[in-house]
Amino acid sequence: MIDFSRARERMIASHLSRRGIRNDHVVKAMRVVPREAFVDPGFEEFAYEDSALSIGHGQTISQPYIVALMIERAEVQPGDTVLEIGTGSGYAAAVLSRIAAHVYTMERHAGLARIAGQRFADLRYKNIDVRVGDGTTGWPEAGPFDAILVAAGSPEIPYALKQQLDLGGHLVIPVGPPDEQRLLKVTRVSATTFKEQDLGGVRFVPLIGEYGWHDERAEPRARQSLRPAPTLSQMVASAAEPLPAFDDPAFGRLFDRFAGRRVVLLGEASHGTSEFYRARAAITRRLIEEHGFTIVAVEADWPDAAAIDRYVRHRAPGMLQDAPFQRFPVWMWRNREVMEFVEWMRELNGSREASDRAGFHGLDIYNMRGSIAAVLRYLDQTDPQAAAVARARYGCLTPWQNEPSTYGRAAMTAGFRKCEEAVVEQCRELLEKQLEAGRGSGDELLDAVQNARLVASAERYYRIMYYAGPDSWNMRDSHMFETLEHLLYARGDQSKAVVWAHNSHIGDARHTDMGTAREELNIGQLCRERYGHQAVLIGFGTHSGRVAAASDWDGDMEVKTIRASLEGSYERVLHDSGVARFLIDFARHAPLSECLLKPMLERFIGVIYRPETERLSHYSHASLPRQFDAFVWFDETNPVEPLGPEHTRAGVPDTFPFGL
C-alpha cells in the first residue's frame, strides 16, 4: 500500500525544494493536493515522480516541478483571480485553487474537462470554474486576471491573453516551435506596455486554437498576427459583467466587492427612471443585510425624509404638517419603487435592535419651511423659552418660506444681514447643544440640529442664487456632504452609508465640465477628498426608452421618450457593445479605462427633459473612468410609477408615509 502522504513530502523535498522552489504558498498547496487523484487508474504509484504522465487525447499532466515553477513565477497570491489555459487532468488548477480566491480553467477537450470537473467536485474544491473552449481567446468576462498560466506551447503570445491581464498581472506561457519552447513571463506594466522575461527552455504539447497552432501537427494559424485591435465597444463587451434580474440575489452579490468601503455612492442619469431606483434598492438591500450599512442618505430634503425615517425605524410619528415629498418634483420620491424599498426597510428593521436599524435620511436644502417648523416644534417641547427666541430669529424668513427663490433679491436690501446672522446663531446654539450631549443625544436632537443647519444653508443658498455663478451649486453640495458627515459621526466610527443622488452629484466633478469649465464641486469629489479609497462612486446610464420628467420647473410630470444617445457619446459606445445591462468595474479593466480616459459627451437628464434641445440641454463632456469607479448600464429603461390616491392603504393614513 502506497503512503501518498510520504510520497508528497518526498516530492517536495526532492523535486521542489532542491530545485529552488521556495514560495510558501506553492509548497503548502502542493502538500495538500492529492496528485494521485489526477492520474489515470493504474498510474497512482507514479503520481509523485517528477515526470509528465499521459492522460489521453494526446495530452499530459505536467511534472510537479513545472507546475510549481509556473505558479511561483506567476506570483499567485491569496485573493487573486487566475486563468489557466489547458485544464488537462485538473492538477495544476487544483493547486492554484488552494492559493488563489478563484480559478478559471479552460480545456478544448470536453472529455478531459468533464473528468477534471468531477475530480474538483469529489475533492470539494468549490472555487474552480471549468469551461470547454478555445483557450487562445481567453475568458474575457471573468477577467481581468492577476495571473494567467498556459500549459501548452504557442507560436507567439496570444493578444487576447495579454489584454485580459490586470495591471501588474503576470502571464506565464511556453512560446516557440513544437519541439521546444521558451517559458516566458509577461508582466503588464501599463495599458499598452508589457515586460517579458525568459525563464528557460521547456517542452509542452501544442496550444491549439484561433491564435495558437492550427492542429496537433503544429501548423500555425494563418494571418494571426494581423488581428485588428478591438474597438471601444468590443472592449466594453469584454469587460461587461451582465446583470441578473433585480430580485435575483446574484444582483446584489455583484456589488460585494465594494462592501468594505465607508461610503458607497449610487448615481442615476435621470430622476425618473425605474431601473435606476430598482438597481439602487437591490444593491442597498445587500449592503444593509450582509455588510453592516446603516445609513441611506438620499438627494431629498431632510424634513421630508425624516418622516420616512420615523416609519422605517419604528420611531414615534412626528408632527409634520404636510405629507412628505409634496414639493416639485413629487414623482422623484413618491413612487412605487421607493415605496417598495421603504416597506422592505421597515420590515427588516422590525427584526433588529433599535441601535442596529438602518435609517433613511435627506441631504438636500430646499424645504426651508418644513425645517423651520421642525426646529420650532422641537424647541416647543424641550425649551419653550428658546422656542420664542427662535421664532423671532426666523421671523425675517417668514414671508419667503413658501417661495424662497424670491428671497435672494430681497436680501440685497439693507437689513437682511441681520437675518443671516440670526439663522446662523440659531444653528450654532443647537450644534453646541448636540456637542454637549455627545453621540448619545438621540434622534430628536439630531433631527433638530440638521433642520437648523438646513435653514442656515438654505438662507445662504437662496441669497447667493440671485447672483448666479457656481457658488449656489457649491454651497448646496457642500451642505449635502456635511450632512452626510454628521450622519456618519452620529452613528459611530464603524458606521457606513449608501448615498442615492444624481450622477451630477456623485460623479467626481473635477473630471467633468462642472469642474473644469464652471468651477463647481460635488458630493463625489468631496467624498474622494475626505475618504479616499473608502469612498466608491458608481454611475448609471441608459441609451433609450422612456422617463418621467417635466418640460419646465414646477410643470406637470410627463412620460417622455428618451432620444437615442448621440454618436460620439459614452452612451453610444456602451450601447454599441450589444450587452443590454451590465456592470463595469473600471479598476478591474485597466486597458478599457485607459482607452476611455479622453473626455467624451455624457448625458444628464434631471427633473426637466427637453429632447428637442437635447445636445445643448443635456450633454456635457466628462472622463468617465475618472468621474466614476464603476458604471451600471441599462440599454433601454422605463419611467418610475408615481403614487396616486389609489396607493393609499385603508386604516393607516397617519403612519404610512406615502398615505395621501
User: What are the distances in angstroms from CA 558 to CA 133, 249, 342?
Assistant: 49, 33, 24
CA pair distance 22, 72, nearest whole angstrom: 8
User: What are the distances in angstroms from CA 248 to CA 177, 253, 482?
Assistant: 49, 9, 35
CA pair distance 103, 131, nearest whole angstrom: 11
- Burial string for 65-80 (b: 16+ CB within 10 Å, else e) reads bbbbbbbbbbbbeeeb
Contact 648, 660 (CB under 8 A): yes
User: Which amino acid, one-letter code, is at 205?
Assistant: V
Contact 91, 103 (CB under 8 A): no
DSSP state of 208: B
Query: What residues have CB less than 8 Å from 417, skipping those under 6 apart?
Result: none
The single residue of 54, 62, 190, 472 carrying the catalytic annotation is 62
Known catalytic residue at 62: yes
CA pair distance 241, 253, nearest whole angstrom: 12
Find cell 478591438 and name the residue. 230
Other C-beta atoms within 10 Å of 562: how many? 24
Contact 522, 477 (CB under 8 A): yes
CA pair distance 512, 619, nearest whole angstrom: 11
Phi, psi values for residue 61, rounded to 5° = -95, 125
- Burial string for 504-515 (b: 16+ CB within 10 Å, else e) reads bbbbbbbbbbbb
CA pair distance 582, 588, nearest whole angstrom: 14
Closest by Cα among 108, 32, 126 to 117: 126
Contact 517, 524 (CB under 8 A): no
Closest by Cα among 293, 427, 282 to 360: 293
Query: What residues have CB less than 8 Å from 13, skipping those under 6 apart?
Result: none
Closest by Cα among 72, 79, 146, 136 to 106: 136
Helix-helix angle 417-437:443-465, to 10 degrees: 160
C-alpha radius of gyration, the chain, whole number:
30
Contact 642, 548 (CB under 8 A): yes
Which residues does the annotation mark as catalytic? 62
